[in-house]
Amino acid sequence: MMRCTVNRIPSRSPNDTAAMEKAILEGIIVPQDVVAVLGKTEGNGCVNDFTRGYAVLALKQFFGEYRKESTSTISYVMSGGTEGILSPHFTVISRKGAYNQVGQRQDQKSLAIGVAKTRDFLPEEIGRLAQVDEVAAAVQRAIAEAGIESSAEVHFVQIKCPLLTSEGVHDALSRSQTTVTEDTYKSMGYSRGASALGAAVALGEVERAGLQDTDICNSWHLFSRVASTSAGSELAYCEVIVFGNSDFAESPYFIDHAVMKDSIDAPALKRLLDVHADAEMVQVMAKADADPTGFIRGHRHTMLDDSDINHTRHARAVVGGVLASVCGDPMIYVSGGAEHQGPAGGGPVAVVFKRRD
């Protein structure tokens, strides 16, 4: 029987594993059971944010001391940027046992986790349909691994995706290929958008037939209600982590989600907490975005016009503050840039809960 757990670990720097080691020594985390680590690091969250890769390197070295098998079996997803009150931390996701389709069903559904990876992408594939298709297939593999039988039971799909660097752009040009953009920062949005649409296709939220390259970061009516994507230069492929509920899993943990209509939609999270008031909140995971129209509830915002601070950084600070004010905890996972992740200007918000004894 699959048994999944989620633990939050504070970090004093991207390479700080002291609290992680303490949790292992206390038996809270079993290194051999860890399948993914979702982190927030205090970099700028942009193309040159090396805190993400630094954290992954530190974590790989750390778990390598405990695990005899390759630590490449762990999915590392680092999201840079802890603007405002967001507190740097790691969310450690563990899974003991595996889904068995002939196993005994439980009386209630519990948290089920599936992980998958795509192949490496060529620079000219990033932000285009090739990425959509590869991500869709990976999401479907992760769902199957988790034993989640219905798309309705998928509540959060976290994807770490690559971006374009100047080197990658020149590589494509040297082979007479074009890239979706030559602006490396803009490539982050295209990659996030293509990955989100891949999740949407896998879950039946968007029809693959008729979908075109030009829909990516243009057709905002196409989106996933559960996808959360984050781009970085530290990888050339996509890491996929699917969070859902299954009656083939057994633990006190479960997950639920809502969709924020805009960056100040605090009631979306409040409703989740109210519905599950008899359970303990373990972690909040959300997307943040600057509304591409330049307006929020009829009023103009300037996040997209600021040449000093990228709009994704503004959005993380805003949504982090809004959600922390509701749940009373700044150590939550908020990722910026929500292209095709929830309605334009909004984004999904999910909560992992733990049933009380």
117 labelled catalytic: no
DSSP 203-267: TTSS-STT--GGGTTT-TT--BSSEEEEEETT-SS-EEEEEEEETTB-SSEEEEEEEESSTT-HH
Strand partners, 300: 295
Of residues 230, 246, 251, 335, which has the active-site annotation?
A: 230
For 16, how many CA atoms within 13 A lie in the half-sphere containing its CB? 15
Task: Kindly list the distances between the CA atom of residue 268 and the CA atoms of 12, 136, 319, 334, in Å, as whole numbers in the listed order.
Answer: 30, 27, 12, 15
For the question of residue 160 being annotated catalytic, the response is yes
Marked catalytic residue, from 75, 94, 109, 160: 160
Evaluate whether 83 touches 310 at the Cβ level (below 8 Å): no
Please state, in angstroms and rounded to a whole number, the distance separating the CA atoms of residues 107 and 239. 32
CA atoms within 13 A on the CB side of 343: 9
**Pair 197, 340: CB distance under 8 Å:** yes
Phi-psi region of 153 (alpha: psi -120 to 50; beta: other; left: phi over 0): alpha
Q: Write down how long the chain is.
A: 357
Catalytic residues: 160, 230
